[in-house]
């Protein structure tokens, strides 16, 4: 009996651009974070609705004036998270499809304010199954608009 062929993992850099096809949003910069279990996305004005749904504004640009996209999504769960500050937070978690390069997958996202962070999103390890991370590179799956650099060089 032949051994099944193992799929070749997809290579990503430590920072990548992520799209949200269901929400009509493209080009959110994400930091790859294997230390985080759940992925997180920068949002504002989160409101819990009846029927197990939440409404929020997805912050798509950290340049002033800030750009927001209103989103309504099903609430998957309420999660207790211990961020780098060490203080436990409760966060709403939603699920959606993301696209990194040509790869699409369903992921859970905790909704959080990341206004003091450089990246609007963290891509945690549960979303990284099948990926190999090159810590010396960024944007291996597609450069952000107005940027073409894919490899960082250190001396």
pLDDT value of position 78: 93
In a domain, residue 115? The reply is: yes
Query: Would you say residue 148 lies in a domain?
Result: no
Domain with residue 25: its CATH number is: 2.40.70.10
| Kind plus residue range of the DSSP H or E element containing 114 | none
Give per-residue pLDDT as tens, 71-118.
999 999 998 877 667 778 889 999 999 999 999 999 999 998 876 677
Nearest in space to 141 (alpha carbons), one of 103, 109, 105:
103
Residue 14 resides in a domain:
yes
Q: What is the pLDDT, as a whole number, of residue 154?
A: 38
Domain total for the chain? 1
Q: Which of 7-11, 50-54, 81-85 has the highest mean pLDDT?
A: 50-54
Domain assignment present for 116: yes
| pLDDT confidence tier of residue 150, bands split at 50, 70 and 90 | very low
Residue 151 forms part of a structural domain:
no
Average pLDDT score over the chain: 85
**Burial class of residue 127 (count of CB atoms within 10 Å of its CB; 0-12, 13-18, 19+):** buried
Residue 114 belongs to what domain range?
A: 10-42+77-134
pLDDT band with cut points at 50, 70 and 90 for residue 21? very high
pLDDT of amino acid 1: 62
What is the torsion angle, in degrees rounded to the nearest 10, for the CA atoms of residue 73, residue 37, residue 112 and residue 82?
140
- Asked whether the beta carbons of 33 and 123 are under 8 A apart, the reply is yes
Q: Is residue 2 part of a domain?
A: no
Asked if residue 59 belongs to a domain, the reply is no
Q: What is the pLDDT of residue 145?
A: 72
Calpha distance 132→89 (Å, rounded): 29
Has residue 124 been placed in a domain? yes
């Amino acid at each position: 009996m032949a051994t099944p062929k193992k799929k070749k993992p997809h290579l990503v850099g430590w920072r990548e651009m992520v799209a949200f096809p269901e929400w009509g949003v493209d080009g959110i910069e994400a930091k790859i974070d294997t230390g985080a279990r759940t992925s997180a996305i920068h949002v504002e004005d989160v409101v819990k609705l009846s029927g197990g749904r939440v409404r929020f504004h997805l912050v798509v640009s950290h340049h002033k004036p800030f750009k927001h996209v209103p989103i309504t999504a099903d609430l998957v769960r309420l999660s207790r998270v211990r961020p780098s500050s060490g203080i436990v937070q409760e966060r709403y978690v939603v699920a959606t499809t993301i696209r990194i390069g040509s790869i699409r997958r369903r992921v859970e996202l905790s909704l959080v304010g990341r206004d003091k962070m450089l990246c609007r999103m963290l891509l945690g390890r549960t979303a990284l199954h099948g990926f190999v991370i090159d810590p010396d590179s960024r944007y291996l799956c597609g450069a952000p608009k107005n940027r073409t650099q894919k490899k960082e060089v250190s001396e």
